[in-house]
Amino acid sequence: MAFNTLTEVQEQLREGKLTCSALVEEHLKRIEENQHLNAFLEVFAHDARSRATVIDQKIKRGSSGKLAGMIIGIKDNICFKGHKVSASSRILEDFTSLYSSTVVDRLLNEDAIIIGRLNCDEFAMGSANEFSAFGPVKNPLDNTKVTGGSSGGSAAAVAAGLCHVALGSDTGGSIRQPASFCGVVGLKPTYGRVSRHGLIAFASSFDQIGPFATSVEDAALIYEVMAGADEYDSTASQREVEKTDFSATSDKPMRIAFLKDALTDPSLDAEIRERTQELISQLQEKGHTVEGVSFPWMDYMVPVYYILTTAEASSNLARYDGIHYGQRSEKATDLESTYKLSRTEGFGDEVKRRILLGTFVLSSGYYDAYYGKAQKARRVVKEETEKILADYDLILSPTSPHTAFELGKKQLDPTVMYLEDIFTVQANICGNPAVSLPLGKHSNGMPFGIHLMGRAWDEKTLLEFSAQLMNNN
């Protein structure tokens, strides 16, 4: 029962050859068979089955929504009313959300079925999904390898066919990098495109929710249903969401830039470099203009990212205090010990590291030197990137310097992991939309992604060209 796009599924549903109930059973079975991946933290079997019955009725009546037949998994930092959500953290282990995120409401309104919540790095902080309080996620293509992170569960679930599409969140590459490691499509929309209401906040001015899918078309469909103004998120844009049109085959020659400094980065795997250069040649042969541009700020992007995101996170995570909800330490005897013990017991090491760093860069006497500077550097990176995109339609690069690495590799230096984000953070620093397309296969057997970043609010160009690329490869 392998289908590539929702269109194929819906055709079968319409013709009565398939029912949502059957689809749900099939996916529940696959999930059961793939428990070793540890992708799902919780499966909403009962929910999914009841919904399927209802939607099957609607299909018969011809009143079903755009996403009828779509089985979706949501990252464990996206709220779903009446369901547990924990950000893969002990501190929220038994927490039940009182409301649904805007994205979940919109998807359910179009009759999608949410089959479960997906493992991730704790509070979305990580690049391998090894920082989850509930165990790492295994890469479906090679169980000894990581999935990437932080939306590791989401990437793995789609790669293993456990759900049709999955939602993740992307703050520095947390959708695109695991998409690259698992061989699926991962999209991060423009900052402000998709409402953050109901997304457990990591870094408020970086976070965006986005889809994982096996095709650009499905990713685009989910994105269009979720995107658009929301009164519950003041940072969400009022702008119209332009519809993508995949039916038109465009011969329009694109102007594509690649960052010379990215391709010469010493951390980049040789095969990935080669494949990227190969792709560049192919595109040039097709008549597109693909040119290398200088971007001397590569080395500054990840530091800027870490200063700003940890600062925002240190504040966003202050609410996890053991007082009104979440885990409270049994050893707490007064207010101070309630805070300290609950938070110390509840948060993992990576989260604590980032909270400390974030607290430091905002603290009295250091604000200007770190946070203030990073805000200015952010403006420089954004303006310089926009200059490039004024001249080119897209910026191309590999998504990640290498393919999925081995599970359990102990890092003595936390900053080594930070460089995983080197190609992806730019889109979050600037707020631009970006996608990882599974266009590479390494000789080591693992997939890798090609990364495209577009102009702000121009998901249409990005997605339409991405579909072309995918279909021609």
Would you please indicate which residues are annotated as catalytic (active-site) residues? 75, 150, 174
Can residue 90 be called a binding residue for another protein (CB under 8 A)? no
Residue 50 contacts another protein per CB under 8 A: no
- Give the x-and-dash track for 429-448 against another protein (CB under 8 A): --x-----------------
For another protein, the binding residue among 2, 98, 248, 270 (CB under 8 A) is: 98
- Interactions with another protein, residue window 312-341 (CB under 8 A): 312, 314-315, 317-319, 321-328, 332-341
**Distance between CA 48 and CA 419 in Å, rounded?**
39
Q: In terms of Cα–Cα distance, which of 200, 219, 196 is closest to 208?
A: 196
Rounded Cα gap, residues 354 and 315, in angstroms: 11
Nearer to another protein, 23 or 262 (CB): 262
Tokens (6 digits) for 195: 């409402």
Which residue in 144, 116, 153, 150 sits closest to 131, CA to CA? 150
- Minimum separation from the CB atom of position 472 to another protein (A): 34
Helix (H, G, I), strand (E, B) or coil at 148: coil
Q: Is residue 299 a contact point for another protein (CB under 8 A)?
A: yes
Instruction: Round to whole Å and give the CA distance between 26 and 29.
Output: 5
Q: What x/- string results for residues 17 through 46 when contact with another protein is judged by CB under 8 A?
A: ------------------------------
Residues 172-211 close enough to bind another protein by CB under 8 A: 191-192, 196-201, 204-206
Nearer to another protein among residue 378 and residue 402 (C-beta): 378
Binding segment for another protein (CB under 8 A), chosen from 27-35, 46-54, 94-102, 392-400, is 94-102
Q: How far apart are CA 178 and CA 259, in angstroms?
A: 22
CB 373 within 8 A of CB 236: no
Of 22, 65, 367, 384, the one binding another protein (CB under 8 A) is 367
Q: With CB under 8 A as the contact rule, which of the stretches 57-65, 97-105, 280-288, 465-473 interacts with another protein?
A: 97-105
Residues 6+ apart with CB under 8 A from 142: 404, 445, 446
For another protein, which is the closer residue by CB, 210 or 438?
A: 210
Instruction: Output 174 or 327, the one with its CB closest to another protein.
Output: 327
Longest dimension (CA), the chain: 71
CA angle 449, 452, 297 (to 5 degrees): 105
Distances (CA, A) of 272 to 28, 247, 266, 314, 431: 35, 31, 12, 36, 26
Out of 303, 384, 441, 460, the only residue in the binding site for another protein (CB under 8 A) is 303
State in angstroms the smallest separation of the CB of 257 from another protein: 22
Indicate the residue among 453 and 467 with the shorter CB distance to another protein: 453
Q: Identify residue 362 by its one-letter amino acid code.
A: L
Please report, as a single letter, which amino acid is at residue 256: I
φ/ψ of residue 78, rounded to 5: -115, 120
Residues 404 to 423 in contact with another protein, rule: CB under 8 A: 413-415, 418
Q: Which of residues 105-164 bind another protein (CB under 8 A)?
A: none
Closest contact distance (angstroms) between CB of 112 and another protein is 19
Position 385, amino acid: T
Q: Cα-atom radius of gyration of the chain, to the nearest Å? A: 21
| Identity of the residue numbered 262 | A
| Bridge partner residues of 290 (DSSP) | 256
316 close to 204: Cβ distance less than 8 angstroms: yes
- Give the number of residues in contact with another protein, rule: CB under 8 A: 97
In the complex, the smallest distance separating the C-beta of residue 203 from another protein, rounded to whole angstroms, is: 8
Q: Which is nearer to another protein, 31 or 120 (CB)?
A: 120
Of 65 and 372, the one with the shorter C-beta distance to another protein is 372
Written as six digits, the tokens of 137 are: 């996620």
State which residue, 121 or 218, has the beta carbon closest to another protein: 121
- Pick from 297, 258, 251: which is nearest to 281 by CA? 258
Residues 341-360 that bind another protein (CB under 8 A): 341, 343-344, 347, 352-353, 355-357, 359-360
Tell me which stretch binds another protein (CB under 8 A): 66-74, 258-266, 287-295, 308-316.
308-316
User: Does residue number 364 form part of the binding site for another protein (CB under 8 A)?
Assistant: yes
Please give the residues from 369 up to 388 whose contact with another protein meets the rule CB under 8 A: 370-380, 382
Place of tokens 């924990």: 86
Within residues 219-258, the interface with another protein by CB under 8 A covers 231-238
H or E element in which residue 176 lies? helix 176-182
